Amino acid sequence: MTLTGSGDTEPQTTLTEDYRKREESITLSSSPAGTGETHELLTLNIGPHHPSTHGVLRLLATLEGEVVRDIKPIVGYVHTGIEKTAEDKAYWKVIPVVERMDYLGYYFNAMAFCGAVETLLGLEVPLRAQYLRVIHLELNRIASHLVWLGTSALDIGAISMFWYCFRERELILDLFEMSSGQRMHTRYFQVGGVMEDIPRGFEEKLRQFLKIMPPRADQYADLFEKNQILLERLRGTGIVDRQTLIELNVTGPLLRAAGDPWDLRKAHPYSSYDKFDFKIPVGTVGDNYDRFRVRHAEIYQSVKIIEQAIDGLPEGEHITPDRKVALPPRHELATSMEALIHHFKLVTEGFRVPPGEAYYPIEGPRGELGCFVRSDGSAKPARVHMRDPSFVNLQALAPMVKDSYIADLIATLAMLDPILGGIDR
């Protein structure tokens, strides 16, 4: 299918012909069906509405009997034009838009964007704000892993894990509601720090949560460690070696399960992660069981980080004192004229960012989440692009499920942890 270079697509073959041609790229295993001992390839469409596709992911599976020979993911069913909408809004107002991209790691999206804008502005984030950011990021990581654990167990059939995981997630969402007023998509991270300091009672509640979370995580381990069905479904399935994963630019727990200790929190620390002492769980074989274990172990490490952060939470401001970027506190508005003017300018127009480009990568629960911001000197960004980890990790699905059963496909898809909001943006 040749394409003209002017940007308009004029397919010279129909979609059916084109599709048949692409089907031919898969080698047929043997002679045509009907002879009794041979099989023909069947193309099966899984999704976009399917209970176990973790969102609206559509998979075109080419099957030979029950064995998957090829898989082609088709995405775009929840494409929201977030990047286009973000170009239309002031920097402050982009934060809620961008938060809704990877909808399980909303603090991470906001962190990547705020980090990129802070790089462009050359802004220094106060230490207390960095620690608060780390607390909320790690809580969000635990919450994301809990949803993954609950829904994956649901897919595999261990249904009761779902209720236990969501019981803990409710506690985390209560903490978020305490600090920012919203359970999800909290707009807590602002450019230059966080929106508000944590209220009284947050610390006690957080410590209570940290005390009960490791035993609860042990309970989850008890549920699956000796479960023969779970072990058989996950052990030895979906193996891809480390080199293939690196070539496919896969990051996050998938890469760590294959034995590669690449974690941006350790490799290129941001937001004072270098002040905390934590380990990175790394797998050995790279099968589904390793991925399962790595994510489960990350919950303990996140608890450890939060403990250190709340113990060592420094005094200070929760947002940068630069009034040209951050809103002044309300009590100042009554006394200071400059504060009033800054408030007015920030709310109506927003702050201006000097022209430039920045790419800010962070370690999200699924891998490297990067935000590219290009500014042209005005109050609205000229381009916001989120490099979503699930989008790139999805390319690894095809080698993972090749020549395995459909049941393994479902388990592998669950272990891949795709978030369609991030894939489609």
Residue entry with tokens 């403990």: 307
Which of residues 166 and 202 has its CB atom nearest to another protein in the complex?
166
Residue selected from 272, 316, 317, 359 as contacting another protein according to rule CB under 8 A: 359
SS3 335: coil
Touching another protein, residues 241-270 (CB under 8 A): 246-250, 262, 267-268
Q: Tell me the two tokens of residue 150.
A: 């609950």
Which of residues 131 and 270 has its CB atom nearest to another protein in the complex?
270
Binding status of residue 169 toward another protein by CB under 8 A? yes
Give just the sign of the alpha carbon dihedral 146, 148, 151, 157: negative
DSSP 356-392: EEEEEEEEETTEEEEEEEEE-SSSSEEEEEEE-HHHH
Query: Between the CA of residue 20 and those of 13, 47, 60, 75, 149, what are the distances in Å?
Result: 11, 20, 13, 20, 38
Least gap, CB of 86 to another protein (angstroms): 10
Binding status of residue 343 toward another protein by CB under 8 A? no
Binding status of residue 385 toward another protein by CB under 8 A? yes
Binding status of residue 59 toward another protein by CB under 8 A? no
Residue selected from 374, 400, 410, 415 as contacting another protein according to rule CB under 8 A: 374
Binding status of residue 51 toward another protein by CB under 8 A? yes
SS3 130: helix
Which of residues 24 and 315 has its CB atom nearest to another protein in the complex?
24
Q: Tell me the two tokens of residue 199.
A: 């209220």
Q: Are residues 277 and 102 in contact, defined by beta-carbon separation less than 8 angstroms?
A: no
Q: Which stretch binds another protein (CB under 8 A): 115-123, 126-134, 288-296, 404-412?
A: 115-123
Q: How many helices (H) and strands (E) does the chain have?
A: 18, 9
Least gap, CB of 163 to another protein (angstroms): 5
Q: Which amino acid, residue 264?
A: L
Least gap, CB of 71 to another protein (angstroms): 13
Least gap, CB of 410 to another protein (angstroms): 13
Binding status of residue 20 toward another protein by CB under 8 A? no
DSSP E strand boundaries for 24-66: 41-46, 58-64
Residue selected from 256, 323, 352, 425 as contacting another protein according to rule CB under 8 A: 425
Which of residues 103 and 202 has its CB atom nearest to another protein in the complex?
103
- Rounded Cα distance between 262 and 282, Å, is 9
CB atoms within 10 A of CB 272: 17
Binding status of residue 185 toward another protein by CB under 8 A? yes
Binding status of residue 60 toward another protein by CB under 8 A? no
Residue selected from 23, 26, 166, 216 as contacting another protein according to rule CB under 8 A: 166
Give just the sign of the alpha carbon dihedral 193, 196, 201, 205: negative
Number of residues that bind another protein (CB under 8 A): 81
Binding status of residue 62 toward another protein by CB under 8 A? no
